[in-house]
Structures are given as C-alpha cells and as structure tokens.
Structure 1
Amino acid sequence: MRPDDWYLTEDLDEFLARAGDFLRSRPALHTVPLTVADALRRRGLHLYGPQAPLFGLLEADDGTVRATLVHTPPFHVHVTALTPQEADTLAARYTELDRPLPGVSGPQETAEAFAAAWQRHTGTAVAVDKRQRLYRLHELTAPEPRPQGRARIAGPADRELLVRWFKEFQEITGGVGQDAGNWADARVSYGGVTLWEAADGTPLAMAGATPETAGQVRIAPVYTPADLRGRGYAGAVTAEVSRAAREAGVAEILLFTDLDNPTSNGLYQRIGYRPVADFTVWGFGGAER
C-alpha cells in the first residue's frame, strides 16, 4: 500500500457522494464524520475556522470505500477504523501536506497506530489527550430520584446563557475551535438544546443533540455549572433529550463519555446507555529530544 492510495479532497459534496454509503453503513461508529459533514453542509465549510477542511477516503480493490478521514482545523483529524498498515500510509501521506496536525482521534487501536506512525515519520512527541467511550441508548430508564424541576427547549431568549455555558464547557473539556455564539445560534435554530430548570424558571443544566443524520443523533454537550452538580440535573435533562429523540423515531441515540470520569459513565449506564466502542484522542507535540 502506498501513501497516494489515499484520495484527499476539499470538496465536501464529492466526499459525500463517494463515501456517503460507507459512512451510513455503520452510523453509530461513524457518528463523528456524519455529524461533522452535516454541520459543514448546513452551516458552511469554515464553520470551525478559516482553513479549509480536508476529507479523505481509502478504497478497496473493488472500488468500495473502506475508510475515511475528516479534518477540520484547528481540531484533530478524525479517522474511521484502519489497519496498522493503512494508518502508517495515511501518516506518511500527511507528512507530505502543508497542514498543521495537532493530533488524531478515532477508534482506540486505529488512533494508537496512527499516533505511533506519526511519531516514526516525524519524530514528534505524541501523548494521549483523552480516552472516550461511545454509548448507544437501549431501554431508557428515568433517573431516580427525579430532581425537582422540568425540561424545556432553549429559545432565542436563552442565547446569552447558552454562550456562557458552552464556553465553560469548552474550558473544562479542553475544547477548541467552534465559536460559542455561532454554536448557540445554530442549536436554537432547530431546538437542539434542552434546559432543566427550577420551578421558578432558573436554568440548572443543559443537554444538546445534533440534528438527525443517517438515522443517528448524538447527545452533546451535557453541562451543569459546578455549583449545581451532584443533584441529578444532568441525568434528568439527558434522559429528557433521549426520550424526545426516541419518540421522534431516531434509530441510534448516541453519546461519548470521558473514561476518566466514572461519574458520567455510571450515570449514562443507569439511564439505559450501553457501550459500543472505545475511542482515543492523541495530541502531537514538538520534536522529541
């Protein structure tokens, strides 16, 4: 296998025309490229930053797509499952490009193989940034005890709150790139954030959901301000968003957790989510000494 076996393009329409069937064939495992491509299609190619996104695909001998990549700077490149050899050839191809690469995310073994290959090809130090687990909703179970309050869809009047909470969420998760105001406007436009509020209307927590694409929706972000945590608000609002998606007929309701956070992993399992696969985010630093 040669590095130029990877076909790379900045044309989203071409990428989806060639790789769409492959991505839709496993919507849970491909939730990230599906939802990112959908967001770029809806909101413009420069949604995440001024540099053009890059898309890639790898075809088998019979012409069918067997792997893809999506890179939206300043985020890491996201890759679908690869063999170690495929990961190596992709890393080699990336060294030929004039594109900064801060890291890689993907299925656990694939991301590890790519990071090791990148280190071999470039001499760059690599390290795990985050270990994640992808969950799928099975039977929804309302959290007990149910906290006081109620759920409602966030509207235009909530924009300032959503911007503030999204910035706080990015700070604690190390997120970069997406403008909080643009994120809030987009989510409000399709009812993509649900708030859990007290009886007097005070917002206590939020849970977002991506638009449905290929029969899947991903719950994200889930956020409770620090002084309100431990009271069941996150579980209640996540269950409400999950219920609404299930009642709307969504086939795959998904979410990611940080494996270093046992509280969230336990919470989502209690309300009916079950593990699908583990993913890893690797960061690439400077040259090794």
Structure 2
Amino acid sequence: MVWELTDDVEAFASTSDDFLRSRPVEHTVFLTLVDTLRRRGLHAYGSGAPIFGQWRTDDGAVDGVLLQTPPHPMMFSRLPGGAVAAALDALAGRSLPGVNMLVDDAATFVADWPAPAAAEKMRVRLYRLGELTPPSPPAGTARIAGPGDRDLLVRWFSEFAEAINDVAEESPGPVVDDRLAYGGITLWEVDGSPVSTAARSRPEAGMVRIQMVYTPTVHRGHGYGGAATSAASRAALDEGASEVVLFTDLSNPTSNGLYQRLGYRPVLDRVVMEFSS
C-alpha cells in the first residue's frame, strides 16, 4: 500500500473518479474541487500549484485521496488504517499551511507533523438533506441571481469569506461569474432589494452542495437566510439532484439548528488545523 502524488489533475481525475463517485456525499468537496480545476485551470484557487494524491491498496485500488489548492489547507478523505502514518512520510519536506481531515485522522496526523505548533481553526459538520421542510416564509420572494447582481454579490462573497476567516482569492469575481453562468446563486429579496443569498454547486454524481449562505448584518433576524437556503435546496432538487448537502461551523449553534429544522441531517465531522511556520 502506498501514496501516489501528482500535480496532474487529469491523471488524478481519471484514476480517482470511481472512488470519489462511490460516496458523493462524503466526497462532495473533492468532486467540486476537481471539476473546478479542470474547467477553470489549476490556479482557480490561488497562484500555487495544486497537489493530488491517492492511497493505493495492494491490488491497486484507490482507497483514499488528498488534495491541496494552495494557500488552503490540504484536504484528506476518510483514510484506511496505515494511510495517515504513510501520508506523513509521503509529504515529508513539504510546507503545509494546515490540514482538513476527519477529526480522528487529524489527531494522528497533527501529533507527528513536524510543525512548531498546530492550532484548531474550525470544526465543521457535513449534513445531507432528508426531506426538505421549508420554514414559515418571511417577507419577500426568491429569485435566481443574474449579471445585474454581480457587483453586489462580489461584495457579499468577500464579506462572507471575511466573516468565516477563510483564505480568499484576491477577488471573488471569478467565483461569482462561474456561479452566475449556470444560475447557481439564489437571492432572497424584499420589495425588490436583495437581503440574503445562498449559492449551490454544479451537480456532481447527483450531488449538489449549498454554499456561501450569507445575510448582511443589517438584514439578520428576519429568517431571510433560512428562506434563501430552502429556496436554493429546492432549486437543486428540482434540477434533479439526488443528494443535497452543506457544511456548517460547529461553533455556530444558530446555523446548525436552522439547517436541521430545514431537514438536513448530520453525516460526519471534520476539523481544520493550522500549522505555524
């Protein structure tokens, strides 16, 4: 059993596709990252070169993957026994800003990674939608965002990244443009003015992920975020998604409670660890 590392997204996609699509809910981020890198180029998430890895069993099957788009932490799938320790050897000498792993795997990796210090940045929970239960509708209506909303959305996406302390691109413009191109952003508006938004990913293996749910501070407390999320989830289902998923920050009880009321159910927990240089 061995890790195979590559900087070739096409090679990685061709050999890991069956593994990733075998559990599209669990592998939601890997599927959307690979799709984006293939469509928008290797520097879609930053100037650094991505790295991809596969854990091969003795019979050659893929049973685990890793992926990093610098400057973001390296993300690992669920790993079988022995793969975490082997990853430490395979990545020796590389400079990592951090890792994004299942909680138990992260504890093992961080204990032996040669960084001066490691700090927990965030714990997140993956949810999948059971039966969508829309909230009591607040004032307003949902609509799909269009090109005329671009400037507002660029500002909101920047505010969202700052709010969650995420490593953002210099400008979220390309991200907004990409989602506008396929109608992937829902707005909730009141009296013709947008007050909240929820984006959704392109479908991959029947899976769609709700992303970047954001309500500016001035509009919070009215149920607009829940309404936008519900509308975006319904749009994904209406377009044929068999699975709709989302992540929440476990330190935010408001969002975790909201999404469960909408019909989302827990799947797994991940932790993002940051390494000091």
User: Where on the TM-score scale, by shorter chain, does this alignment land: which range?
Assistant: over 0.9
For residues 37 and 93 of structure 2, what CA distance do their matches in structure 1 show?
A: 25
Q: Is the 8 A contact 2:184 2:201 kept in 1?
A: yes
Q: Is the 8 A contact 2:5 2:53 kept in 1?
A: yes
* The one of 199, 222, 242 aligned to 1:251: 242
Q: Who is 1:188 aligned against?
A: 180
Amino acid of the structure 2 residue aligned with 1:182? P
Q: Is the 8 A contact 1:112 1:280 kept in 2?
A: no
Q: Who is 1:27 aligned against?
A: 24
Identity %: 51
Aligned-pair distance for 1:83?
4.2
Q: Who is 1:132 aligned against?
A: 124
Q: Does 2:94 correspond to 1:102?
A: no
Aligned-pair distance for 1:33?
0.7
* The one of 229, 232, 237 aligned to 1:241: 232
Q: Who is 1:273 aligned against?
A: 264
The Cα offsets for residues 136-178 of structure 1, whole Å up to 9 and x where unpaired, read as 000011102x101000111111010000000000101011133
The Cα offsets for residues 219-239 of structure 1, whole Å up to 9 and x where unpaired, read as 001000011111100000100
Q: Is the 8 A contact 1:135 1:254 kept in 2?
A: yes
What SS class does the counterpart of residue 147 from structure 1 fall into?
A: coil
Q: Who is 2:209 aligned against?
A: 218
Aligned residues: 276
User: Residues 65, 229 of structure 1: CA spacing in aligned structure 2 closer, same or farther, 3 A cutoff?
Assistant: same
Aligned-pair distance for 1:42?
1.4
Q: Who is 1:79 aligned against?
A: 76
Task: Name the Cα RMSD after superposition.
Answer: 1.2
Alignment of 1:172-211 (within 5 A): 172-178=163-169, 179-198=171-190, 200-211=191-202
* The one of 29, 41, 46 aligned to 1:44: 41
For residues 160 and 207 of structure 2, what CA distance do their matches in structure 1 show?
A: 23
* The one of 56, 59, 81 aligned to 1:59: 56
For residues 267 and 129 of structure 1, what CA distance do their matches in structure 2 show?
A: 23
Q: Which runs of 5+ in 2 are unaligned?
A: none
Q: Which runs of 5+ in 1 are unaligned?
A: none
The Cα offsets for residues 105-125 of structure 1, whole Å up to 9 and x where unpaired, read as 02221222222221xxx1421
Alignment of 1:148-163 (within 5 A): 148-163=139-154
